[in-house]
Amino acid sequence: MDFVNGLHLLTEQIKATSLLEWCAVAFGVTEVLLARKNNVLLYPAGIIGILCSGFLLVDAKLYAETLLHAYYLIMSIYGWAMWKNRSADGAPRITRSSQNEQLITWSIALLGWGVLYLMLENFTDSDVPVVDAFVSSTAWAGMWLLAKRKVENWIWLNVSNLVAIPLLFHKQLILISLLTIFLFVVAIFGYLDWNKQLKKDYARKSAI
């Protein structure tokens, strides 16, 4: 019976999905697929998706979520600039995180989790502040690593996805939860593809 209800809810959600929502989903999926291919065009695709989502969130008066998307927009612009920067300060190729970068990543995740939890607990009516804050903070960390073109970005993004999937089902956001499952699978292949490219780059350097 739960499956039938879930299927009915999914059908109703699809029927009610606006063109702007479909655009946001389409560009979001395109962004992840391009990221898997290590293609810098992921950033313009992501920016379009974020802007579409931003309009929807403002219209729904979800201002906290809008602020999160503002962070994603800033990180997308930053990441685009970093990927295009061929100097030592940029991120022209895939690399692994240094110890200092790992420390920054953990700081973003843990401090972000604490700050978001306090905000959700004290200023919203969220009934899942701990989990909701965790999903966002780990995604923040993953976005920062993606901007730096670090292979570990896929791990952090999938930690976020793994927790987000049951949370979205719990909130009966069936369409978004199915999308997140798809993104989770793509991220696994993204991690494998980036590792493969990293090994090729190392082998090429060793041969020189």
Six token digits for residue 89:
């300060």
155-183 exposure pattern, b = at least 16 Cβ within 10 A, e = fewer: bbbbbbbebbbebbbeeebbbbbebbeeb
> Is pLDDT above 90 for 55?
no
Q: pTM here?
A: 0.86
Q: Provide the 10 A C-beta neighbour count for residue 46.
A: 26
Question: 101-124, pLDDT tens digit by residue?
Answer: 999 999 999 999 999 999 989 988
